Structure 1
Amino acid sequence: MKNNVLALFFLSFTSLVFAQNKEVLFTINDNPYYTDEFVRVYKKNLDLVKDDSQKDLDKYLELFLGYKLKVEKANKLGLQNDTKYQNELKSYRNQLAKSYLNDSQVTNALIEEAYERMKYEVKASHILVMVEEGALPADTLKAYNKMLDIIKRIESGEAFDALAAKFSEDPSAKENKGDLGYFSAFRMVYPFENAAYKTAVGSVSKPFRTRFGYHILKVADKRMNRGEVYVAHIMIMKPATPDAELQEKAKQTINDIYKKLQQGESFESLAGQFSEDKSTASKGGALQRFGSGQLTSQEFEDVAFGLKEKGELSQPFQSQFGWHIVKLIDRFPLQPLEELKVDIENKIKRDDRSLLITNSLAKKLRAKYVIKTDAKLLVKTKKAVTNAFYEQNWVIPSSNEFQAALVTIENNKKLTALDFLEFVSSQQKSNAKTRPIQNLTNELFEKWLDEQVITYHNDNLENEFPEFRFVMDEYRDGLLLFDLMEKEIWNKAKNDTIGLEKFRLDNIKNYQWKERMDVDIFSSTDEKVIKKAQSYLKKGKSIDFIKQKLNVNDKINVIVKSGLFENDYDVLPEFAITKTGVTKIVAKGNYFFVTNVKEIKPAQPKLLNETKGKLVSDYQQFLENNWVDELRKEFNIKINTTVFEKTKKQLQ
């Protein structure tokens, strides 16, 4: 309901029309309302209204004035101070502001890049030399030189996988020799993904840095994305001990199950009985749909993706977990970009690459706004941060000089040195490692300033973008109007039983039953059947008796509709009914009808409970119409007729 109300007041940005000049059109208790808003709203809604009277400018002024009177009343009642209202308005603003707090050019480029990568899967191995993000230069250089030594050994002909097993500091390398299998976009950290997709098949990358340390990788293969599969499986687990007899027993069990499947037994039933994967057995063996690289078993993935037809079964096969039989339920190829765009953008926002968007926006805003920094105070402020930060026990020193403005944005937003130091204090738990402390404070200052510039931009969207301000004003008024209408009109109309009954009696001519008939209407496509029904009715036979006699051999030859209907209902006018009893037979369309009229009720007023839906709606409209008249008396209204006439000429 709220959406319908609010939709009357705002549309998409593209429909907004702006006036170049504005004058006061009218005042309500000395609060001015301007011609630019009136013109904009009139033009915006011109194609929406179906009632031509609303296109009449004099009548539209009355509607607009009534709307603003209600908003004034809402503010007078203090509805704008309601916490629920404020939270809803804040939530809407945050949603609306997203497109203004985003570098669309960078975002779109990242979306396109990610989708192009999602078309392919890369198989790669890597070697990792670990080094912390904020390591000292000496430690960073040591790790880098270690990686250079490994590269020299590769260039001299040593096998990549052997070196990975020997030197890589990835804990899994000893077992998998650095092999990561196939993966696609968003499966690895962004710098790693970049290196994987930019390195040719068979080649080794240059050293690159992630938050884990230095890597090199070797690309073994690149193939088209296989999409996702939805499969079920039956699993007999690998024996806990390397016992040949138990191994053979497990293999025999899976083979016996496979034979049962070939004999036509239900996969789901056998999975429930025999599968030792307890998390899926009760669901017929069904797994969550998955893509390449999402399972820890390459053998399982390859078999699952090797199935082509829905319902197709694999032969029994072995993985590191045990023996399996897999059934294909469905396949899901990569969807078009248009269908994945929103999902990709959401993934980008949760991914390392989101920093590219934030940094790009901050860079543009820094160039856009006039930002002044007190250089001397900045030096003193940075020196106040000590190595105690790394132990998370640094305390902001007490000094009045930190109350001074450190940064000024556009000459109206002042940020003190204390503001920055409080930000530094909040970052202690982030476990930042950058050293020495001077480098860390430099990083933190740039991060803080970026955040402050973006915050300033967000806080000033209404001032910088007229279309944003207009939409927010309309939404703000629309929310207030909804809450006011709910309080003053809708709830009152629903709950004021005495008022409803009085309104019904005052307007009784609008709530009348026509002549009504209590009838059983028999219909059939066969005239002979309907004649038999008529005969039975004249003999006083019941509906059940007639249906039992005429609906035979599982064939429905006659159907019956019973009820109290007004005299113009459906086929009733065809009978020209004037008395009770069995009627003549009439034909309409492909059907034949006969009716048993049990009672005829004269036209009469509807009771309150018989017309409550329409009555409440009409009463609401009545209350609202009278309410606007009352509001006109409550508030002092002054319309500038000269300005209105000039505005009319411009619009006409």
Structure 2
Amino acid sequence: MKIKQLLFGLLLSANFVANAQDSKKEVLFSIDDKPYYTDEFSRVYKKNIDLVKDESQKDLNQYLELFVGYKLKINKANKLGLQNNPKYQNELKSYRSQLSKNYLTDTKVTKELIEEAYNRSQKEIKASHILIMVDENAAPADTLKAYNQALDIRKKAVAGEDFGKLAQQYSQDPSAKENQGDLGYFSALRMVYTFESGAYKTKKGEISKPIRTRFGYHLIKVNDVRDNRGKVTVAHIMIMKPAEGLNSEKGKAKIQDIYKKLQQGEKFEELAKQFSEDKSSSEKGGVLNSFSSGELSSNEFEDVAFSLSRQNPISEPFESAYGWHIVKFVEKHPVKSFEEMESELEGKIRKDDRSRLIVNSMNEKLRKKYAVKRDNKLYAALVKTVTNDIYTGAWKVPADTKNFDKNLFSVNEKAITGTTFLNYLNNQQKGVSEIKPVSKLVDFLYEKFLDEQLNVYYNDNLEKEFPEFADVMEEYRDGLLLFDLMEKEIWEKSKTDTIGLQHFYEKNSNNYKWKNRYDVLIVSSTKSDFIKKAHKMLKKDKSAEFIKQNLNTGKEVEVLEKEGVFEEGNEALPKNVTFKTGVTDVVKQGDYYFVTRVNKVLPAGNKTLEECKGKVVNDYQQYLEENWVSDLKKEFTIEVNKDTFEKVKKQIKS
């Protein structure tokens, strides 16, 4: 293929954020009356010029030739209908989806959340909580009742009553009966966002006011705050606790016996493989995935793991809720820098409930951007069609929707009908909320529907909203078409047109020549006495295998050999090889001694097609493309505005 044109096409399809558009654009040239403008030419030239190594492409006249040739190919691709290929359309759709992500979210809010998460991740909080459960869509009276109950409990705690006992008595978190509400240590992105915020905003030793999450109201007591310990990688040997009621002393004795074996010098990894009852890690010598505080369900295990170091690598046996362990230190991983964590944090935030803040912020912007006026009379009629059957998924859209086909609202020029909203309600039945009465539920779903429609319209019109987005999509669209076209018209043809390839080779055979070549056996060694022995063996016409068997008899490899056909000037050939058969003298180059047997000399001459097929195919592709562009210039009518081009050249050079 012709590399510089392909490079040009690939560069055109690269991502970029364009600089400000030229204030005024003019028609630079046309192909079959389709205009191409000065702003695109200038932008692409400026964007690509520093990446181009071929000086000829920096010449504006030559660059215009390339640019016209490129657009000719795109016109040909469209003429052949390649833009209708489903594979092409799917790939373009996938690319647009990826590119649009940065436009469809509130990047300012996203950045703030990433920075907040990173700053919080520098600390670990040890907290306890009391939960009073209430559904997030509960009636106001039930919500107020739960809130007041949480306030009453807080008053008791602030007055000095033991928080742990209050948790046992009042908390509706089932685990509180056992752990007195203790959550251990945790860092950012471990708890639901509102709970995390409540914990990080509460000072050590203090109790928060009631914090609302989707589970209900929480009272949070912060027991401790410490620097993030990062992550640790350890291995362990575990003896599991027996079922309740069975003798546990046997397991305790076994872990002690294993510990004695370690003290006697036996390998931890081998003992883990033999005796550890954690089957998920025993085969790996007991090694666990790295973890940070709060990731495991055992505080005892975490504390022991983080207490170890290279100087103190193995713990004494200890007991957790799950059994007895011996832990071995492997590696500690400090907290990563912001740059290292930024991408990871963004991914977690998009899956975390705080992502609602990003979505809500974007929705708010779109509501301000597009002033939507609803037909309230039509909306009231729609609400009346919805019955309580929606709560069981049995509600159906009215059989006759003719009266609802009117516009419920419009987003700019796009009209959204009442029937569209009814179909949306029907599709929402499976995951419908318990919000009651029905009219309130429909209001809730309408707000979601409105936000979705605004986002769809905004996404569909990104090209109109953002010229740089439109530019990138246009270039990627053309780049994909060019690739498909080149594959169809050039690359496949050069591989399958055997007659054309043979004719091209015969016509240009002088371009594919061998230099003088040598069929040789080269022996090398760092020791002169061994190379002398090899020299004698070569003189006796001994094979490479014979030489190695007789000289590499000890533990060390004394000689190495290399056989093959090499062109004159190849670095593999020792410097004393000449154009004649026989065994050369020993020569030293660097630390090595070499001796060579030249079995045959092959004079310079033409390569066969098979010997140079890769190069011939590449050159044939280039030949086809050069002639193809000439043919395209005959197929399409091209008109270049020379005066406009001269103005563009001056603008670019200035």
The TM-score range, normalised by the shorter chain, is: over 0.9
Quick one: distance in 1 between partners of 2:9 and 2:429? 45
Are residues 448 and 562 of structure 1, via their aligned partners in 2, closer, same or farther at CA, if it must alter by over 3 Å?
A: same
Letter in 1 for 2:107: S
Are residues 33 and 559 of structure 1, via their aligned partners in 2, closer, same or farther at CA, if it must alter by over 3 Å?
A: same
Question: Cα distance, 1:512 vs. partner?
Answer: 1.2
Q: Which runs of 5+ in 1 are unaligned?
A: none
What residue in structure 1 maps to residue 636 of structure 2? 635
What residue in structure 2 maps to residue 74 of structure 1? 77
Are residues 481 and 182 of structure 1, via their aligned partners in 2, closer, same or farther at CA, if it must alter by over 3 Å?
A: same
1:95 matched to 2:98: yes
Contact 2:13 2:478 in 1 (8 A): no
Letter in 1 for 2:618: S
Contact 1:133 1:434 in 2 (8 A): no
1:409 matched to 2:411: yes
What residue in structure 2 maps to residue 242 of structure 1? 245
Are residues 519 and 23 of structure 1, via their aligned partners in 2, closer, same or farther at CA, if it must alter by over 3 Å?
A: same
Contact 1:5 1:478 in 2 (8 A): no
Quick one: distance in 2 between partners of 1:550 and 1:137? 94
Contact 1:133 1:433 in 2 (8 A): no
Question: Cα distance, 1:342 vs. partner?
Answer: 0.6
Quick one: distance in 2 between partners of 1:199 and 1:487? 66
Quick one: distance in 1 between partners of 2:423 and 2:624? 55
Quick one: distance in 1 between partners of 2:475 and 2:349? 32
Quick one: distance in 2 between partners of 1:601 and 1:516? 5
What residue in structure 2 maps to residue 347 of structure 1? 348
Are residues 524 and 150 of structure 1, via their aligned partners in 2, closer, same or farther at CA, if it must alter by over 3 Å?
A: closer
What residue in structure 2 maps to residue 221 of structure 1? 224
Can you list the C-alpha shifts for 1:44-69, whole angstroms capped at 9, x where unaligned?
Answer: 22222222221222221211111111
- Counterpart mapping for 1:359-508 below 5 A: 359-397=360-398, 398-410=400-412, 412-508=413-509
Letter in 2 for 1:111: I
- Choose 282-291 or 148-157, whichever is displaced more: 148-157
What residue in structure 2 maps to residue 308 of structure 1? 309
Question: Cα distance, 1:477 vs. partner?
Answer: 0.2
Contact 2:586 2:594 in 1 (8 A): yes
Are residues 481 and 597 of structure 1, via their aligned partners in 2, closer, same or farther at CA, if it must alter by over 3 Å?
A: same
1:165 matched to 2:135: no
* Aligned partner (choices 134, 141, 145) of residue 142 of structure 1: 145
Question: Cα distance, 1:209 vs. partner?
Answer: 1.4
What residue in structure 2 maps to residue 105 of structure 1? 108
- Choose 495-504 or 290-299, whichever is displaced more: 495-504
Question: Cα distance, 1:226 vs. partner?
Answer: 1.5
Can you list the C-alpha shifts for 1:164-201, whole angstroms capped at 9, x where unaligned?
Answer: 11221112122222111111111111111111111111
What residue in structure 1 maps to residue 23 of structure 2? 20
Quick one: distance in 2 between partners of 1:483 and 1:286? 49
What residue in structure 1 maps to residue 292 of structure 2? 291
1:130 matched to 2:133: yes
Contact 1:5 1:482 in 2 (8 A): no
Are residues 368 and 424 of structure 1, via their aligned partners in 2, closer, same or farther at CA, if it must alter by over 3 Å?
A: same
Question: Cα distance, 1:480 vs. partner?
Answer: 0.7
Question: Cα distance, 1:387 vs. partner?
Answer: 2.9
- Choose 192-201 or 441-450, whichever is displaced more: 441-450
TM-score (norm: length of structure 2): 0.93
Are residues 651 and 156 of structure 1, via their aligned partners in 2, closer, same or farther at CA, if it must alter by over 3 Å?
A: closer
- Choose 151-160 or 478-487, whichever is displaced more: 151-160
Can you list the C-alpha shifts for 1:463-493, whole angstroms capped at 9, x where unaligned?
Answer: 1111111111000000111111112111222
- Choose 431-440 or 170-179, whichever is displaced more: 431-440
Question: SS at the partner of 1:127?
Answer: strand
Are residues 120 and 179 of structure 1, via their aligned partners in 2, closer, same or farther at CA, if it must alter by over 3 Å?
A: same
Can you list the C-alpha shifts for 1:340-398, whole angstroms capped at 9, x where unaligned?
Answer: 10111111111111111111112122222333332333333334433332222222334
Letter in 1 for 2:286: G
Are residues 497 and 278 of structure 1, via their aligned partners in 2, closer, same or farther at CA, if it must alter by over 3 Å?
A: same
Quick one: distance in 2 between partners of 1:321 and 1:546? 64
Are residues 650 and 250 of structure 1, via their aligned partners in 2, closer, same or farther at CA, if it must alter by over 3 Å?
A: closer
Contact 1:208 1:215 in 2 (8 A): yes
Quick one: distance in 1 between partners of 2:164 and 2:460? 54
Letter in 2 for 1:58: N
1:534 matched to 2:535: yes
Quick one: distance in 2 between partners of 1:645 and 1:463? 30
Can you list the C-alpha shifts for 1:123-168, whole angstroms capped at 9, x where unaligned?
Answer: 1111112111211222222222322332333344332211211221
What residue in structure 2 maps to residue 62 of structure 1? 65
What residue in structure 2 maps to residue 253 of structure 1? 254
What residue in structure 1 maps to residue 576 of structure 2? 575
Question: Cα distance, 1:76 vs. partner?
Answer: 1.4
Are residues 587 and 439 of structure 1, via their aligned partners in 2, closer, same or farther at CA, if it must alter by over 3 Å?
A: same
Letter in 1 for 2:460: D
Letter in 1 for 2:599: K
Contact 2:18 2:468 in 1 (8 A): no
Question: Cα distance, 1:450 vs. partner?
Answer: 1.9
Q: Which runs of 5+ in 2 are unaligned?
A: none
Quick one: distance in 1 between partners of 2:180 and 2:652? 76
- Choose 524-533 or 630-639, whichever is displaced more: 524-533
- Choose 136-145 or 610-619, whichever is displaced more: 136-145
Task: Give the RMSD, CA atoms, in angstroms.
Answer: 2.4
Question: Cα distance, 1:503 vs. partner?
Answer: 1.5
Contact 1:185 1:193 in 2 (8 A): yes
Contact 1:115 1:337 in 2 (8 A): yes
Quick one: distance in 2 between partners of 1:198 and 1:383? 46
Quick one: distance in 2 between partners of 1:282 and 1:574? 54
What residue in structure 1 maps to residue 236 of structure 2? 233
- Choose 207-216 or 278-287, whichever is displaced more: 278-287
What residue in structure 2 maps to residue 86 of structure 1? 89
* Aligned partner (choices 150, 154, 161) of residue 151 of structure 1: 154
Quick one: distance in 1 between partners of 2:568 and 2:146? 93
Letter in 2 for 1:239: P
Quick one: distance in 1 between partners of 2:351 and 2:605? 66
Are residues 52 and 156 of structure 1, via their aligned partners in 2, closer, same or farther at CA, if it must alter by over 3 Å?
A: closer
Question: Cα distance, 1:6 vs. partner?
Answer: 5.7
Quick one: distance in 1 between partners of 2:582 and 2:160? 106
Quick one: distance in 1 between partners of 2:492 and 2:28? 33
Can you list the C-alpha shifts for 1:196-215, whole angstroms capped at 9, x where unaligned?
Answer: 11111111111121111122
Quick one: distance in 1 between partners of 2:381 and 2:240? 66
Are residues 431 and 179 of structure 1, via their aligned partners in 2, closer, same or farther at CA, if it must alter by over 3 Å?
A: farther
Quick one: distance in 2 between partners of 1:269 and 1:192? 44
Question: SS at the partner of 2:51?
Answer: coil
Quick one: distance in 1 between partners of 2:52 and 2:60? 13
What residue in structure 2 maps to residue 198 of structure 1? 201
Question: SS at the partner of 2:102?
Answer: helix
Quick one: distance in 1 between partners of 2:16 and 2:292? 39
Are residues 419 and 294 of structure 1, via their aligned partners in 2, closer, same or farther at CA, if it must alter by over 3 Å?
A: same
Contact 2:238 2:278 in 1 (8 A): yes
Contact 1:234 1:276 in 2 (8 A): yes
What residue in structure 1 maps to residue 37 of structure 2? 34
Quick one: distance in 1 between partners of 2:41 and 2:494? 31
Are residues 241 and 366 of structure 1, via their aligned partners in 2, closer, same or farther at CA, if it must alter by over 3 Å?
A: closer
Can you list the C-alpha shifts for 1:12-46, whole angstroms capped at 9, x where unaligned?
Answer: 53464632222222222222222221121122222
Are residues 158 and 589 of structure 1, via their aligned partners in 2, closer, same or farther at CA, if it must alter by over 3 Å?
A: closer
Question: Cα distance, 1:627 vs. partner?
Answer: 1.3
What residue in structure 1 maps to residue 562 of structure 2? 561
Question: Cα distance, 1:648 vs. partner?
Answer: 2.9
1:618 matched to 2:619: yes
Contact 1:107 1:357 in 2 (8 A): yes
Question: Cα distance, 1:282 vs. partner?
Answer: 2.2
Contact 1:79 1:483 in 2 (8 A): yes
